[in-house]
Amino acid sequence: MPDAGGTAASEASARRDAAVEGHGAWVAASVALAILSVSYGSPLLIVIGLKPITAGLGTVREVTALAAALTWIGTGAGGILMGWLADRIGVRRTVMFGAAMIALGLAVSSLGTVWALFVGHGLLLGFLGNGAMFPPLLIYVSRWFERRRGTALALISSGQYIAGMIWPSVFEYAMGRFGWQATMVAYGLFLLAAIPPIAALFLHPAPEHPHAATAVGGAARRERMLGLPPNTVLALLSIAGFCCCVPMALPQSHLVAFCSDIGIAPATSALMLSVLQACAFCSRQFWGWLADRVGGLITLMLGSACQALAIAAFLVTQSEAGLFAVAGAYGLGFSGIVPAYVLVVRELFPSSEAAWRVPTVLFVSMGGMAFGSWFAGALYDHFGYYAPAFAVGVAFNLANLAVIGFLLARQGLRGGMRPALA
């Protein structure tokens, strides 16, 4: 007589296999990409408006850059809470809530005081807003994929670069004509009208992972990982993420101001940022393809090395044509780094731990983005130019390569450079 329980389990497993990497998986990835392409426009407002916002508030560039830094810190910290919350109430509600908070954060930031800019960007736009978008959506989409997880994570992470291609020129034009405060409010209203309906209609629950497999795999992995305690591996990944995101923040947060400081027109400076993001979008699909074949750690090593070379090139380039070339090269190199961290966590740790391990690594990494953005502004205010900031960025990038190289050596010593998917 057939085992009814075994048959039901087999049918459930078959349904899950059909869903994973099927039509619904690519719909989920495409919807996440569309949402992030809109939500990631919100931090760009302060990047494009760094000089007019600083002048309008009557402050120094370091203070305005600190507001941008608080956005990254808030996004990372909020991702830990929102990743946990999305596992309990669903990613759909979490994303809709995040959209409302981003719109509110932009409205508060437009009030025209430093404290409003800090609260609006750090708490509302960052912690409660983008914190409810990026980390939960990465975890959500990673559960729809196994063999092509790296490709899918690279695709949805490209929302940052689609935003970077579309919005800088739009924001530069709008701020020039209507002012930075009106532009913030208008974009908040647009975001509020766009994201919640998309989330409500298309963000369906991800396939369930087999509990038994997760429990067995998790128990085996928790003892040792790469010959180290699992939490030590997580800590090293987080340190590496911080060190690579310090230099990553420099061009993304200060490129427009840097170019205008050396005499390049604001519209051209905004276009240069769009070129950087366009190159990052195009190359990210390559990095995702590569990660599916060689694993997350090798991808991290290669991407970080490319980023270090490009950051160093900013130190010796001043011409408009040269900066366009360096910005494009930087975009081609750094774009595979962030999704590779997520892939490494999903390769090494059980799916049941993704809701807190992925946001933890992203939180520390975004702390690096925050520190890099703020520290570059502080160094500029002290020296009057950006070369010291780029030099510090190179030093942090070399530290990142040392940590990733150590983990990669530990992985290689344990028989095989490509770990099994978790």
- The runs of H, that is alpha helices, within 203-261 are 211-223, 230-261
Concatenate the DSSP letters of all residues of 42-77 into one string.
HHHHHHHTHHHHHHHHT--HHHHHHHHHHHHHHHHH
Q: Please report where in the chains the tokens 């950087």 appear, as a residue.
A: 276
pLDDT for the residue numbered 66? 87
Measured CA distances, 234 to 24, 133, 247, 295, 386 (Å): 31, 22, 21, 17, 33
Q: What is the largest CA-CA distance in the chain?
A: 82
Domain ranges of the chain: 28-413
The residues with which 225 forms a beta bridge, in sequence order, are 228
- The set of residues, in sequence order, having a beta carbon less than 8 Å from that of 295 and lying 6+ positions away, is 343, 344, 347, 411, 417, 418, 419
- Residue 367, pLDDT score: 86
The whole-number pLDDT of residue 76 equals: 85
* pLDDT given at position 173: 93
- Domain 28-413 coded CATH 2.60.130.10: no
In this predicted structure, what is the pLDDT of residue 117?
96
56 CB-contact burial (10 Å; exposed 0-12 / middle 13-18 / buried 19+): middle
On whether the CB atoms of residues 380 and 386 are closer than 8 A, the answer is yes
- Classified as helix, coil or strand, 228 is strand
Six-digit token string for 130: 């983008």
Report DSSP letters for 197-212, one per residue.
Answer: HHHHHH-PPPPPPPHH
Low-confidence ranges of the chain (pLDDT < 70): 1-19, 209-223, 413-422
Q: Which amino acid is at 181?
A: Q
